[in-house]
């Protein structure tokens, strides 16, 4: 249950599960590579207990899902889609920009959207229509031509509606590591993609990492986690509520409170125990709390250093001067500033993306955004005048490196 933590041990434990499952996941990938759709049918029977008739979800099934979803929920998904799209539109850069750096030398960048991407939307314990929106909307905003999605069976009508609202082209009822393998390698039913995005359990995350040579991935994403940096001014009820919200995601979710106030840690502990006892998903929450807890530090400098060492997926700042702390944070997937910025707002409707790096990978990767779905090519336009301006520099350095043909390719133009 919720406890005082040794932070170094906790951080190391966040990645140990990935190493543990890489062997079994490699076997799954090998089967999909060798057997294609047949492996998907068999592995779905084995892991999900479902005999699939079809892997692809038909347009008729997609449309019929609207009749099974409450109208108010459909309206909420539409509103969330609008908010998420609006935020991601702000990230979209120019398709092409050119700048004359000096007479005759014009440089720039051409941005090209990917042609085909795959999104993974978890299922099983719950429906995740929010993840369906988060994975696919930035790809749509970026201009990706084809977007497919894999989600475990049985396909939830809510997820189907969300994917339709987001404008997804293809939906497949397959989950787990085998879904990642199918999108990366390709089967008769599921054409291969250029990039795979989306969170999942440890098997999904391991499959993404093992298949990076087959398809680009976003980053390791899942299971979920939160770190809360708090001082004596924080509200223990708000903190405990955020902790329970993360803990109910998955038995392997993890939550950490980093605080300068031992009394706050005690108060949060009492609130966490109280809320966990009445949680609707109590069994999942209690398992997550078994590897969650708090650490009391001496001052805010130590608190910031500790949080940066964790590099959490979600970071909540509940201190007297959150903006002052915000500028000092280096490693975090998404940051929630102030007591009223519930992490759940970012999960659903503020507009930011909730697909974020976990297990300390926020020190290496940024959360999902429009840029993940684009390639950028540098552009240079050089006139004869420009070549004269930089030619001596090119020839001198090329000759020094012993690459004389490089130098000659400039000299021949200058002579001619």
CA distance 205 to 218: 10
DSSP 238: H
Q: Which of 291, 314, 354, 372 is catalytic?
A: 314
Residue ranges of alpha helices (H) inside 149-297 are 157-166, 176-185, 202-210, 236-247, 262-277, 282-289
DSSP 394: H
Q: How many CB atoms lie within 10 A of CB 362?
A: 26
Q: How many CB atoms lie within 10 A of CB 231?
A: 19
- Could you tell me which of 191, 190, 194 has the C-alpha nearest to residue 215? 194
CA distance 164 to 118: 15
**Phi, psi (rounded to 5 degrees) for 379:** -130, 140
| Virtual torsion, Cα 353, 17, 204, 351, nearest 10 deg | -10
Q: What is the DSSP string of 243-262?
A: HHHHHTT-TT-EEEEEES-H
Residue 72: cis peptide before it, omega within 30 degrees of 0: no
The H or E element containing residue 355 is: none
Is position 314 annotated as part of the catalytic site? yes
Q: How far is CA 310 from CA 171, 225, 248, 272, 357, in A?
A: 35, 10, 21, 21, 12
Q: Are 211 and 236 in contact (CB under 8 A)?
A: no
DSSP 373: G
* Six-digit token string for 213: 């040579």
- Could you tell me which of 304, 331, 336 has the C-alpha nearest to residue 317? 336
- Our measurement of the distance from residue 127's CA atom to the centroid of its chain's CA atoms, rounded to an integer in Å, reads 18
CA distance 47 to 343: 32
* 146, β-bridge pairs: 116
Q: Which of 81, 216, 313, 395 is catalytic?
A: 313
Active site residues: 313-314
């Amino acid at each position: 249950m919720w406890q005082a933590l040794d932070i170094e041990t906790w951080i190391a434990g966040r990645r140990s599960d990935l190493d543990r499952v890489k062997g079994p996941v490699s076997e799954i990938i090998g089967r999909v590579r060798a057997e294609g759709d047949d492996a998907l049918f068999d592995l779905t029977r084995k892991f999900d207990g479902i005999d699939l008739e079809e892997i692809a979800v038909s347009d008729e099934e997609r449309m019929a899902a609207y009749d099974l979803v409450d109208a108010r929920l459909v309206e909420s998904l539409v509103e969330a889609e609008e908010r998420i799209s609006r935020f991601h539109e702000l990230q979209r850069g120019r398709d092409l920009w050119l700048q004359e750096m000096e007479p005759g030398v014009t440089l720039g960048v051409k941005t090209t959207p990917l042609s085909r991407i795959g999104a993974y939307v978890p299922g099983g314990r719950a429906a995740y229509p929010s993840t369906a929106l988060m994975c696919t909307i930035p790809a749509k905003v970026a201009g990706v031509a084809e977007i497919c999605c894999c989600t475990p069976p049985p396909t939830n009508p809510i997820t189907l509606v969300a994917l339709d609202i987001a404008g997804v082209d293809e939906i497949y009822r397959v989950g787990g590591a085998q879904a990642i393998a199918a999108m990366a390698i390709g089967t008769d039913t599921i054409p291969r993609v250029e990039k795979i995005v989306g969170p999942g359990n440890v098997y999904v995350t391991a499959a993404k990492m093992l298949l990076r040579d087959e398809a680009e991935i976003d980053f390791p994403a899942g299971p979920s986690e939160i770190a809360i940096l708090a001082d004596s001014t924080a509200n223990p009820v708000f903190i405990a509520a955020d902790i329970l919200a993360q803990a109910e995601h998955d038995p392997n979710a993890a939550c950490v409170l980093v605080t300068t106030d031992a009394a706050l840690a005690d108060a949060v502990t009492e609130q966490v125990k109280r809320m966990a006892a009445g949680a609707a998903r109590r069994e999942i929450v209690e398992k997550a709390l078994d590897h969650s807890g708090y650490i009391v530090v001496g001052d805010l400098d130590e608190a910031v250093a500790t949080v940066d060492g964790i590099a959490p997926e979600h970071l909540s700042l509940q201190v007297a001067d959150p903006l002052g702390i915000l500028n000092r944070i280096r490693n975090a997937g998404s940051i929630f500033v102030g007591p009223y910025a519930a992490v759940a707002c970012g999960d659903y409707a503020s507009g930011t993306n909730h697909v974020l790096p976990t297990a300390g990978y926020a020190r290496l990767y940024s959360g999902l955004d429009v840029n993940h779905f684009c390639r950028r090519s540098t552009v240079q336009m050089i006139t004869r005048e420009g070549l004269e301006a930089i030619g001596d520099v090119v020839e001198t350095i090329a000759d020094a490196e012993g690459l004389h043909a490089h130098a000659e390719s400039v000299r021949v133009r200058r002579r001619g």
